[in-house]
Structure 1
């Protein structure tokens, strides 16, 4: 293969495709895993949707396990930076902003992956577990900034509320986040000193 040919890959129908195969594969994974689940989506279907050959797919990912893990990493690689890395917000505002979820957001992809895979040692299961711990840690950090007496406990409580609201929204097909946000506000206001609501 020449250098110019190496910049292209051949799709499953034999037509030439430009660069960007990795992004197309991840884009197809994002759509198909969300629509029909991880277990029901095979590599053949993913390759067809991404318009790449299986050979090309395996040049970018060692296998489906690695693809699933990378799919999860793409959702929030910096762990809610748009919520917690906002110096213009008070600690209380940061904690409650975590519950500002668009109505009827699909089930959390990290929960969905862990439930589907049934394997705690799967790369995606490990990543989902690490991500969930990181969310609780970021909540605890904000609680600590706000002067909470037990920031780790408040972080775990709020993380549990987030996950519960995501699951309940999916099961009942009704937005549970406003209720979760109200409970979160009560917990936060009880845990933080009154000055935390206005201080930076």
Structure 2
């Protein structure tokens, strides 16, 4: 019987034999988020992940059939609704929402906004197979984010919202890659560039 089929009263034993209640799946995903962020997907071994999560390999594979399945679950957990904490805010103007995409620190583990793109980009860069589900998911997310940027650019009154949305999406890709590659926070510079692009696009529409 798998952990998913157990009643709430049934407990599992971790790698050191300690009894643990439910929540193993969340602990595994939390460990994956930490380790994938710190050292990458390829360099994270299952033994290390089990140690951090406090579960056995058997439990991991009961919840996730393979490491690939775990990667997919991890990525789906990142930002399933494409930055609702930015795009769905009614207290911000469309211009402010566009800038808010760039205003969360990428280095913070629980940061929202631009930080959400980091794990997806990492998966895209680390996995060679273009048809791997993780890369497909990363592409789908990037397209969905671009659509939201275009829609918000239209609300902001951009003369060419398609162009502005694509420019901001490209800027976000660049700042995410630079931050993760060099370990420096490039977001302050990106905010200035984004503001200039938005102002230029909306002034020309007036």
1: CA distance between counterparts of 2:106 and 2:23? 32
2: CA distance between counterparts of 1:137 and 1:5? 42
What is the 5 A alignment of 1:132-171?
A: 132-171=142-181
CA apart distance, 1:6: 6.5
Give the total of aligned pairs. 195
- Higher mean C-alpha deviation, range 34-43 or range 145-154: 145-154
For structure 1, the residue ranges without an aligned partner over 5 or more in a row are none
CA RMSD of aligned residues (A): 2.3
- Higher mean C-alpha deviation, range 168-177 or range 32-41: 168-177
Q: For residues 89 and 4 of structure 1, do their structure 2 counterparts lie closer, same or farther at Cα, with a shift above 3 Å needed? A: closer
Contact 2:171 / 2:190 at 8 angstroms: preserved in 1? yes
Match of 1:70 among 56, 60, 73: 73
1: CA distance between counterparts of 2:9 and 2:133? 30
Structure 2 partner of 1:192: 202
1:35 paired with 2:33, answer no
What is the 5 A alignment of 1:1-200?
A: 7-102=10-105, 104-105=107-108, 108-193=118-203
1: CA distance between counterparts of 2:22 and 2:147? 38
2: CA distance between counterparts of 1:104 and 1:53? 30
For structure 2, the residue ranges without an aligned partner over 5 or more in a row are 110-114
Contact 1:11 / 1:53 at 8 angstroms: preserved in 2? yes
2: CA distance between counterparts of 1:164 and 1:113? 16
2: CA distance between counterparts of 1:66 and 1:167? 24
Q: For residues 170 and 4 of structure 1, do their structure 2 counterparts lie closer, same or farther at Cα, with a shift above 3 Å needed? A: closer
